[in-house]
Structure 1
Amino acid sequence: MSEDLSDRVLYEARDGRAYITLNRPEKRNAVTYEMFDRFMEHIRTAEDDDDVRVIIIRGEGPDFCTGHDLAQVGSEYGFSADKDARRPSQRRRIHFDKRHVEQFRELFYCVKPTISLVQGNCVGAGTYIVEASDLVIAATNAKIGHPEQKMMLAGAAYMTTFNILAMGPRKAREMLLLGTTVNGTEAVEQGLANRAVPPEELAAAGEEWAERIVRLPRDAIAIGKAATHMAMDSLGMTSQFIYGYVGHALGTNIRYEPDEQNFMKLRRDKGVTGASKEREGRFESSGSDAGSKP
């Protein structure tokens, strides 16, 4: 990429807090894979800084994160615009998905407490960030979910165990099968967020909780996180980062029948915008919740 990644994922540490900000508002904070690599570099920087006691994750502009940049989706596997090119191998899919899901695992098991402040659209990879965070404060106007599942994944997600434990099996299956989204208040009711506040109060609410954490002893914070990690392991949370990448790799290699929609072919023929509109239109015409775009 030619753009300066230092401007796309910002880092600031002060007063016991590390602020990591997705800064691509003109693209609604859709993240490229390079941006996510930089995001994880900042997580590690915060972990290594003994003065940092809490990490605040936020998005610049009206949206938190609209998922992975759809212009890149498929490139990680080696999809080609050439209609006659061989489709990517399973080994390439598995190799990439293993690496990527391990990044979410690293965030999930971060040694410092994390708070995500969510406004506007938070879908796809944005929702994975939320699911991997310790605490989540959502604006009432937030739109949180996994509508990328309507790219024919139908439940091949990275963090299904978390979804089931947080939301219950019925609601988790609804979100992952139908690609539905929920607002901030609904996210609290369904276990995806801790608190919902008006958009104009989001930053202050985050600072209030961060200050309460900063006042705790460093060792107590570390021991509390370690205890949480052990509890998560006892509940089988670690396993989702193994079956997650295998399931996702398989889910991106399904066979499409003549009457079924293939997003990759649509994007090749109609571009990202055209493919996204046609994908949403397929579900809107059936009367289902169209959700928002990843």
Structure 2
Amino acid sequence: MPAPTWFASPAEASERLTGSGYLADTPTAVTTFLAGSLEKPLLLEGSAGVGKTELAKAIARSTGAELVRLQCYEGLDEARALYEWNYKKQLLRIQATDTDTRSWNETHDDIFTDEFLLSRPLLTAIRRDEPTVLLIDEVDKTDVEVEGLLLEVLSDFQVTIPELGTLAAVRRPLVVLTSNATRELSEALKRRCLYLHLDYPDAERERDIVLSQVPGLDDALARQLVETVGRLRELELKKSPSIAESVDWARTLIALEIADLDDAAVTATLGVVLKHATDVDRAVKELRLARS
């Protein structure tokens, strides 16, 4: 089967991503095009909230592909990432089998089949024959051992299951890995990927994003909001406001019928964009806001 064409050009990638609600700059559009064209995994690195996960979702939306997501966390193992056997169902089958008339080899062959296989995200993405975007989210939260598993899967896009043999991808998924850069990823993993560092957009681009996501928002109010979010991100906070929280803030202002983001409005709605008491205290102090 010929390799699928995800995007015909960087310009088309930009246009289709925009149509799906993601305003991509030139480097993002170019790298996204190349990820599909070269069939290379795309590693997105940057602070939490800059739109890494959303880019993977936008690629899936704009191409009509299925999104398969592996959410990484400390302690993630092969059984949760790749596959495991449904031992309870296997045991029930063994108990229901007449073991007096069947050999163990016959029973073994009966219970180690697709019927008893619990497919996890990596195997699911590899086995799909329809266009698939595989999102490996926050890969920096996993252990080094999981990186080894990813290297094996991303190198050949095949998985060897001892009981079933080697399962190779019929149609390679477009793979997107995200990292918040909480730890350094291995050079071996990076070598297999295209790399793109995402940062918070500049004020004009964020204003465009907010206006595209929040119909009916006044342009002047959007400018006030983006300016205030920018000032908040300059502070030493535990968690800076994400782009999604900027959008939430805009929707909040519309819901409260606030037409001017003055100090009182900022103070009353800070909880939409800041999620730590210490961050709220710092913002009130640094921005010289009056306590509500």
TM-score clears 0.5: no
Alignment TM-score, normalising by the size of structure 1: 0.24
Alignment TM-score, normalising by the size of structure 2: 0.24
